[in-house]
Structure 1
Amino acid sequence: MKRILITGAAGFLGSHLCDRFIKEGYYVIGMDNLITGDLKNIQHLFKLENFEFYHHDVTKFVNIPDKLDYILHFASPASPIDYLKIPIQTLKVGSLGTHNLLGLARVKGARILIASTSEVYGDPLVHPQTEDYYGNVNTIGPRGVYDEAKRFQESITMAYHTFHNVDVRIVRIFNTYGPRMRLNDGRVIPAFIGQALRGEDLTVFGDGMQTRSFCYVDDQVEGIYRLLNSDYVYPVNIGNPDEITIKDFAEEIIKLTGTDQKIVYEPLPKDDPLQRQPNITRAKEILGWEPKVGREEGMKITYDYFKSLSNEELLKEEHKDFSGFIH
């Protein structure tokens, strides 16, 4: 049985990856410090013989007994609310955490896949974004802690591949959605759905003409699975190129939820990207991958998930205790 370590295992995407690799017959070792993850996302796995969990911060030394075939490094705050509250921890998990896991991969002879994101492109001057585009990032702006953590992560990963011959993969993840997203984490889809379910007006930042491209989680997981099992070591965009403006998307949410909320406008946050659309030519050619789930189908599943939450969960604010992770 192949053994795989998945960091960020209790998070939205990490928990879905745990499910997929369990389904594929792997022995899955989940790791998470639970700063933004939630054990409820993986509690259904604890009864399984081929799953175990480590409550651990990857910025500290990481050791896994016995053999290890694969590592998926998905530990990182991923929403603006999180990385603006814990900027130092965000930088540390992208740098120290990645360094620790690359070292573990080297010792174990394991293949490691690093989760980068479309944020390496910053506020892009090239559209759609190809893997050959180097990005337009403000290193000292409020989003720089996340953007630069991911860019450094890619650099050190390629350095370990070049100088230590570590077997690496790099996925650049574009906006992904689906069940298990945190309702109040500040990202577009849970923010809009949460507001609609609470009877609030939908908040759009700027004029709403900025664009996003949303990929359903099952498609994202399939792309990551194929990349891990490919022979390609350079970055690959995995996302859905179906682009939509935020204003039009807000109107879709109002229609989906059957509510009569208005759209209200607030100032655009600093360095918020105006366009986001992946060029997935490389994924198509190398992995034979492209998304299968359309936004209408994926959003219905996601909306039904959020509707199933209790009123208490819908109404509560995010009050994560970040005090132990500030420095």
Structure 2
Amino acid sequence: MSKEIKTGIVAVIVIAIFIWGYNFLKGQNLFDTNTRNFQVEYSNIAGLSTSSLVTINGLKVGKVTSIEFNKNITKKGHLVVSFILDNDFSFSKKSIVKIYSPSPLGGSNLAIIPEYEGENAVSGDVLKGEIESSLFTSIGERLDPIQAKLEHVIVSADSLFKNVNNILDIKTQKSLKNSVKSLEFTLNEVKKTMLSVNGLIDSTSVNLKESIKNTKLITDNFSRVSDTLANANIGEIMRKAEVTLTSANLLLEGIHSGKGTLGLLVTDDKLYNNITTMSKELENLLREMKLNPKRFVHFSLFGKRAKSYSPKKETE
């Protein structure tokens, strides 16, 4: 083999290795016969780039190989994204390829939302594409109408202030300033009043605390009394009281009917008169014994006889 043939073979091998390496860096493996190619069209790729990942249910199954403008005049400005799948996972042609952003600061990737009804997708098919709204995109879409309304409000407010400035002359402005000063003075007076009220509340807070404490003691005592009454045998006490009252009624009825000593004393006038007469005679006897003790106690060594009793007129 000549030297030129060897050099040519080496050059062919180097070129083949270069082509394979270039495609491998792009995500294409020329020696993988299971690789499938698909395309999808978007009006906006939202930061998608070549070598972006392609996933199915979160699993990496391929990469984006190229992004080109659509050459069709009717779809001018649209972008055609080509990607390859290394996985032999089967899905329908109705499946959707969605652009999504895994993180707010990262790039975009492709996610295949698989469908299983209908004809299976094969290499070379063009699938339907969609764009998933990111966090910033959603915020921007919601802020756009708010921004428009805010601009309208600002313009209306500017016109209103211009009209107010035209209406308010120097005299009216002075009146407004005086009104503002009066309002400030009133607010200061209200502030002083509130300070006085706060001082009064602070001074009476001690008494209020004592009153609350005393009220609590009273309620505690009531609670104890109620517990005592609840635990006491009220029925037994009432029964004994009823028996006592019945006995007292019987005793009073007996006295009223003249039974017993108290009954006779209360109802029998003769007994009362006898007792009155006896008390008077006893009183006379005691008076006589005091005035003439010798008539009742006589003692003599010589046998002198005691004087006979002579009734005396009672003095008042």
Output the TM-score relative to the length of structure 2: 0.19
Greater helix proportion: 2
**What TM-score do the two structures reach when normalised by structure 1?**
0.18
With CA pairs under 8 Å and 6+ residues apart, which has the higher RCO, 1 or 2?
1
Please identify the structure whose Cα radius of gyration is greater: 2
